[in-house]
Amino acid sequence: MNCIFCKIVKGEIPSSKIYEDDIVVAFNDIAPQAPIHILIIPKKHYSTILELEEDDKELIGYIFLVANKIAKDLDFHERGFRIVVNCNRDGGQTVFHVHFHLLAGRAMRWPPG
């Protein structure tokens, strides 16, 4: 598989890791769209959220708990943040490994796109 995020998980490509455990890894985005732009990815490969099944619901909840922990650890939880998940090309997905964008450090606007 030629997935850049799988290579980051395996340690084949360096990244600026913020958090890692047996289930997920979080690292700084190389093209940040906000002062704080962290990607949280499951270590297991899913191309899009459309591949998620009933058994994966705990994983998704866990990712939100990791986002919560990161926001508190990096002290941007009180000012606020945004979590974004893109699905397929028209949804803005460019890397086909499920990932959650954790954005903070500035006021977020609405609508986003």
What is the phi/psi pair of residue 66, to 5°? -65, -40
What residues act catalytically? 99
If you ran DSSP here, which 8-state letter would residue 61 be given?
H
Residues, the chain, total?
Answer: 113
Of 26, 98, 36, which Cα lies nearest the Cα of 65?
26
